[in-house]
Structure formats: C-alpha cells, structure tokens
Amino acid sequence: MEAPSSLKQQEFSLASVTHLTSPSVSSSSSSVVATFSSSDNHLRIQESDSDDAFTFDLSSAQLFKLAPLQFICVSESLDSAKEKSFSRGVMMKFRDDKESKDFSDSFEEWTKDAVKQGSPLPNGTVSVNKGKFDNKIEAASAKMYFHYYGQLLHQQNMLQDYVRTGTYHAAVMENRSDFSGRVVVDVGAGSGILSMFAALADAKHVYAVEASDMAEYARKLIAGNPLLAERITVIKGKVEDIELPEKADVLISEPMGTLLVNERMLETYVIARDRFLSPNGKMFPTIGRIHMAPFSDEFLFVEMANKALFWQQQNYYGVDLTPLYGSAHQGYFSQPVVDAFDPRLLVAPSMSHVIDFSQMKEEQFYKIDIPLKFTASVCTRVHGLACWFDVLFDGSTVKRWFTTAPGAPTTHWYQIRCVLSQPIHVMAGQEITGRLHLVAHSAQSYTINLTLSAKMWGPGANQGGILQTSSCKFDLKEPYYRMSQPQVYPVVQEPLAQSQDIQIQSDDLEVELLQQNANAQL
C-alpha cells in the first residue's frame, strides 16, 4: 500500500453510512465514498450524486471498530459558525473484510501524517494532547504497567477480591437511577466488568476505555454477553488521547492504588472528568480518604531490622560485608510494608485526609502534604505510621462506602505501614505530631517523606519543646509485600502496659534483640 504522504487523495467504497446524531440520515447505496485528501488533511464521506458530505479533520479524528465490518468515526465539529460542539461522528459499514482492513490501515497512516504536519487537536496542540501521559511517565514504567494489567491472571486477582467487586456491583445497582438511560464512560475498564454492571443498570451506552491489551479480552468477554454488548463500545487507548462521540453523564472507574494514590491513575480519572463528563455528571467513586494512625509493632520492627543482619558478617567466605550494613539497613526501612494488621496495634485514634475527585485538579496530585496530629492512648514505642483508605460512591439513592481499614474484610490492597528506623517513646495522653509529604515521580508512584515527633508530657509541658523526632523516606513503588493476615495478639498487651518503666533515652530492648539474632546467625 502506498504511503499517504505520497498520495494526494485515496478513496474507499462503503456499504452504508449513518450519522450518529441523526440515525435517520443514512445512505446505503453503492455510490457512498470515503475520500482521504492531503490538500486539507480531511476525510470526506458522501454520495457521488450529492453535495452533502460528512467531513472530518484527520488531525483530531478517531476510529473505533464495533464489528468486523463496522466502524465509528468521530472528531471535533468543523462548523465554526455554530457554538463549538464536543464531537461529531458517523457509523460506517463495509462490504467485506479486505475493504474494512484496508480502510482501517489507511486511516491510521493518514491520521499519523496529519498529526506530524502540526494540525491543532481538540484539547490543545499536538505535543500537549498526544503526549501528556508520555511526558510525565517514563516509558519503561508505562510499558510494565500496561503489560501487567494486560494479563488475565491479574484481572482475575482483582475480580476475585469480592469485597471490591461486590461493593462496585452494589453501588451501581442500588443507584440504578443514576445509570438508567445515561451515557457512561468506564475509565481504565480492564476486563470490562464495571461497564457490564453499568449496562445491567440499563445505561443507554457505555464507552469502556482501556489502554492495555486487556481491551481485546474485554471485547471478547462483552461479546459473549450479547444482551449487554449492543450497548458497550470498547475503546483501546489512553484517556488523554482518545475522543468520544458524546459527553458522559456518569464516570465509573477503579483508579485506587496502594495508599489510594499509587500508580497515579487518579490523575487519569480527573482528566477523564475534565474531558468527557457533562456538567453535574456523576463520578463513581466520588470521594477518597486516606486514613492514618501511629502504630506499635515490636515483631515487625525486629523483622525489618533483622533483614540487614546478613551484612554484619565480617568473614563471609573471607569477605567483610560490614561496609554495606548501613546502606542495607536504610534500604529495608525505605520500603513501606503492605500487609493486614490487627487494629489493636494502633496507639491513637486515626485522622484522615479527604480527596474530592469531583473537584481535585490533576496538578494537585503531584504533591500532597498532610500535617499529622495524634494523642497517644497507651504508653508504648511508636514504630511508624499505618495508612489505609476508603472511597465513597455518592449515588442519588444510596451513599455507599468501600473501605480497606484494618479489622474490616481484607482486600487485595491490604493496608500499608511506614516503619521508622528509630522508634519514639510516648506516654498515654502525649501528643504526637508530624508530617506526611507525598511527591509524585515518573515511575507512576510517590516518594513518601514521614516525620513523627513526641512532645513533652506531664508537669512543665508548656515550657518544653519536642523531645524526640524520627524521620524516614520511603519509595511507594518498592513496597515490602508482607501480605500476612493479622497476627493474634492478646487482648491485654502486657509489654505495652509495662512500658511506663522504659527510659526514653534507652534502646536496650532493641539492642538486646538485635544482638541475640546476630549471635544466633554467627
């Protein structure tokens, strides 16, 4: 096939064409022709004996395959005399597979050539619209991310999280009035399960947007449910790049990662809101909350510290490993711990940070700063900060919360704990302050900076300052997947009750445990 750059125009015959906004306006004669033109970078679809034509700017046009011989073509309206519409589109049908494939291949080449020439796109210039995701996310991370979610075994892991899947199903079905007769966009559709939930709730049409190869599996799964398939269109592409033929009344998505924000898909969710959602449209979920509380877990702390003891060997096959002990110790404590834990390990009531998906701007996800303030309820050593999240489905009929809290049914997110390399001692009633600072990075995750401090407690506290401060930096991209179920702890934790006698300046317990383990290994 000759390259479009060397052609002035290229024609294809269609079996029929139907205008999406006016289904009654259609043609089904042998004289319907689709013409690519290099003079103005447009695609024109018209009957040979008619002056009327459907015209598309190739720099912004999008083509979606509905069936082997059927496509939808959409782009920005070219009628500048009227108020600028979001997009326009036609449904095209071909006579055989060869014509269908040739047109699809040519369309891809013509649109690429039009973009290279620098024509403006609906949401900005070519460089901004086509590369927004690629500009902020490194290629290696994106490739691994889409490869991961393109595999059925990982989709199965999420589908078998019955707390997650069941809550989404309930949120949709309990709020059927929000979906019935409405246009829905499923952001990051994966297997298409949420799209099918929306269709089961009588959605008028669902656009399932998925950038990974899972889009092909979603098409196959949806096609196997014919009563739903006629109202679902799977679109393979990034939310930042695609176009849709109409605005959405509802956005549905599962954009949550570890600590709510990991993987940075929440940014894609709000981009979809800004690009596709009608004013006063619904978002499922609507609000997210990050919950935080200090915890005490001597078993976990010793487990983390013991990992680096390997590097304390002075004669490992004749080699002294101790020069790397400090780096190894720091490395293990830079990993957030992902597991399920007993909520009785929390040493103070939790606090929360709210993220309103309907209001949050994309840029506000780049840095998230959360001041911390707690009041200790027991005398103990604080080993770090425990975090979990919940989201609200703010439906018109039912407002349903989904939580990953400790003590609640375990999900595939578990909870996350940031363990300090230097614990701090607190007394019951003592104030704990600090800061949790999250900075997004190009590997689709965050760097976590945590600081916890314990203020003076008791008589003379007003004259005192901060007694102890401990800080640590963590990489949310590289967690320690401990994945254990909550350990069984006694109802009354005797060591905690006796911790009043521990001298704040002493780390005797830690030193003794580390020495015992070192002696055991040597």
Q: Give yes or no for residue 261 having a pLDDT over 60.
A: yes
C-alpha distances out from residue 502 to 35, 303, 379, 505, 514, Å: 83, 21, 10, 9, 18
**Do 476 and 443 contact (CB within 8 A), yes or no?**
no
Q: Residue 495 — very low, low, confident or very high, per pLDDT cuts 50/70/90? A: very low
Residues, the chain: 522
pLDDT bin (cut points 50, 70, 90) of residue 4 is low
Average per-residue pLDDT for the chain: 85
Please check the confidence at residue 44 and state whether its pLDDT lies above 90. no
What per-residue confidence (pLDDT) applies to 464?
Answer: 58
Residue 506 has pLDDT above 60, yes or no: no
pLDDT at 26: 57
pLDDT reported for residue 485: 52
Q: What is the pLDDT of residues 110-154, one digit of tens each?
A: 887 765 554 333 322 233 344 578 888 999 999 999 999 999 999
Q: Which residue has the higher pLDDT, 504 or 452?
A: 452
Minimal CA–CA distance to 190: which of 132, 151, 229? 151
- pLDDT tens digits along 433-476: 999 999 999 999 999 999 999 976 666 556 556 688 999 999 99
Separation of CA 2 from chain center:
41
Q: What is the pLDDT of residue 129?
A: 41
For 317, phi then psi, to 5°, come to 55, 40
The pLDDT, as a whole number, for residue 505 is: 37
Reply yes or no on whether the pLDDT at 500 is more than 60. Answer: no
Q: What is the pLDDT of residues 193-210, one digit of tens each?
A: 999 999 999 999 999 999
Cut 0.75: pTM above it: no
d(CA 498, CA 276): 59
**Residue 517's pLDDT is what?**
47
Cα separation of 75 and 115, whole Å?
14
pLDDT in the model for residue 107: 87
Query: What is the model's pLDDT at position 455?
Result: 79
Lowest-pLDDT range, 50-54, 112-116, 330-334, 460-464? 460-464
Domains and CATH numbers, the chain: 10-116 (2.30.29.30), 147-254 (3.40.50.150), 289-481 (2.70.160.11)
Question: What is the structure's pLDDT at 133?
Answer: 83
Give me the amino acid identity at 181.
G
What are the beta bridge partners of residue 65?
71
pLDDT at residue 24, as a whole number: 53
Query: What amino acid is encoded at 472 in this protein?
Result: C
pLDDT band of residue 491 (cuts 50, 70, 90) is: very low
Q: Which residue has the higher pLDDT, 498 or 189?
A: 189
Give the per-residue pLDDT at 40: 75
Average of per-residue pLDDT across 26-52: 75
- The answer to whether residue 1 scores a pLDDT higher than 80 is no
The DSSP H or E segment spanning 298 is helix 298-307
Q: How far apart are CA 372 and CA 436, in angstroms?
A: 7
Predicted local confidence at residue 56, as pLDDT: 84
Assess whether pLDDT exceeds 70 at residue 429: yes
Here the tokens at position 489 are 């702890």
Q: Report which of 429, 477, 435 is spatially closest to residue 452, judged by C-alpha positions.
A: 435
Catalytic (active-site) positions: 254, 263
Please state, in angstroms and rounded to a whole number, the distance separating the CA atoms of residues 422 and 510.
Answer: 10
Cα(417)–Cα(480) distance, rounded to whole angstroms? Answer: 10
